[in-house]
A = this chain, B = another copy of it.
Amino acid sequence: MSTPQKYELLYWPGIPGRGEFPRLAFEATRTPYTDVSNTVPGGIHQVLAVKADDATHDEAGNPPAFAPPALRVHGEGKNGKTLVLSQTPAILAFLGDKLDLAGADAAERAWIQALALTALDLNNETHDTHHPVSTLAYYEDQKTEALRKAADFREARIPKFFGYFERVLKGNKEGKGKYLVGDKLSYADLALWQVVHGLKFAFPKELKAREDAGEFPTIFKTFFPAVPEHGNLKEYLDSDRRKPYSKGVFRHYPELDRQ
């Protein structure tokens, strides 16, 4: 048995999902971490335990998680115990400070948090295109509503979000189109990159039509290819640690894409 890494990610196995955001932070900074459910035998039970409907505070005083992902950080909890924190934006804010992905000063830190939250809102809205009524019901049982929701998402929400990020990238002169804030990589860049990557999978015709029409050139031509140049990201994306999209947030249902 090897010693556990300082950082242990608790998330569903086999999909990128919301676990991908902290994974990219680790890989972009070459920070060792344990992806528990994907690499530890029986690790899924640790994920289930931290978000169980009857889970309560652990012996270090950590409250249970509402939903995965959760992050365990050894030595950073109460009295030097293990900290367990949850909620993707909170995990990213915490890791941003630790891994130097949170900007150069307090102002950049606040902007990066806001921009990451906005990218995560787009992630959540993507999920709702195939589950507009109920997260528990099957897609097939809410397909009528999904068709309507997806049309609104493609026609109104994608241009609104992409238009916003295009303006932020262009307006940040220091970043030369590669960074949302300042002149170095932040967790907001990683969050936006992952959502654009996922949307290219889920809505390939919609994204290609917009890219081919010359929309959002900074996002598509400058930002998107630049992010994987950092740290270990290229190797990671080519490895089997990067899980394929399947039945998670980003799903490719051709009927929901541009027709």
Contacts and interface: CB of A to CB of B under 8 A. Distances in A.
A18 B167 CA distance: 24
Interface stretch (A111-119, A209-217, A237-245): A111-119
Contacts of A170: 56
Which size bracket describes the interface of A in this complex? 35 or more
Contacts of A145: 132-133, 145, 148
Interface in A88-126: 89-90, 93-94, 105-107, 110-111, 113-115, 117-118, 121, 124
B57 A163 contact: no
Interface string A171-196: 11000000011000000000000000
A54 B164 CA distance: 8
Contacts of A226: none
Contacts of A134: 148-149, 152, 156
Contacts of A136: 152, 156
Given A76-B107, A90-B114, A128-B128, 4 more contacts: A56-B170, A63-B180, A85-B114, A132-B132
7 contacts: A61-B107, A66-B114, A77-B107, A83-B106, A85-B113, A90-B110, A94-B110
In the complex, the 6 A-B pairs of residues with the closest C-beta atoms, listed nearest first: A57-B171, A87-B114, A85-B110, A134-B152, A90-B113, A87-B117
